[in-house]
Amino acid sequence: MPPSPETFRRALGLFPTGVAVIATQADDELHAMTANAFSSLSLDPLLVLFCPNKQSRLAQYLPRMRSFSINVLRKEQQALSNYFAGRWKSAIPPPFRFVSSDTAPRLEGALASLSCHLHQTIDGGDHWVVVGRVSSLHLGVEPHRPLLFFDGQYRSINFAVATEAPDFLRVTDEPAHIFYEG
């Protein structure tokens, strides 16, 4: 018997992810959404993907979307994540600004922004898999402290530099064992 959607969601929530805002220009308006289903896909050509729910507001613009930006959020941009996820409680939005780029507007102050041309859209069940070809990127200024999402909550990470790898990361001659419970 396959796992329930709730158990599946709970298990995948234990995989820490970054948080990004996807933005596109359609019908002479800017449209943006928060996403943590974002990934690199290929180095040759440079491809990335994100996966919006088919019921999301941004998904309705996919047929007209030719380009988009992926904006990786900083730890300090949690309010923007909530705002673009539709979870903002105040009538006044948090401060933000999109600036022009070669394809779609990028979010000013993001940790990194990738400008993409739409490459392919694939049916992925109740989501779309949107593949973009990266045309340019912008790296934000340091410090590079990403906004993370883990176990249903925003998190941050302390980037202390280790001088020596912990024992469990040391290379040994012992075989690795991977267990699957199905």
Residue 71 domain-assigned (yes or no): yes
Q: What is the mean pLDDT of residues 150-154?
A: 90
- Boundaries of domain holding 67: 5-169
Residue 178 lies in a domain: no
Tally of domains within the chain: 1
Whether residue 179 lies inside any domain: the answer is no
33 domain-assigned: yes
Closest CA to 75 of 106, 114, 110, 36: 110
In a domain, 176, yes or no: no
Closest CA to 104 of 21, 20, 23: 23
Distance CA 156, CA 143 (A): 13
- CATH number, domain of 146, equals 2.30.110.10
Residue 32 lies in a domain: yes
Any domain includes 90: yes
pLDDT digits (tens, 9 = 90+) for 70-96: 999 999 999 999 999 999 999 999 999
**For the whole model, what pTM was predicted?**
0.83
- Give 27-49 pLDDT, tens digit per residue: 788 999 999 889 999 999 999 99
| Count of helix runs (H) and strand runs (E) in the chain | 2, 12
Q: Confirm whether 175 is domain-assigned.
A: no
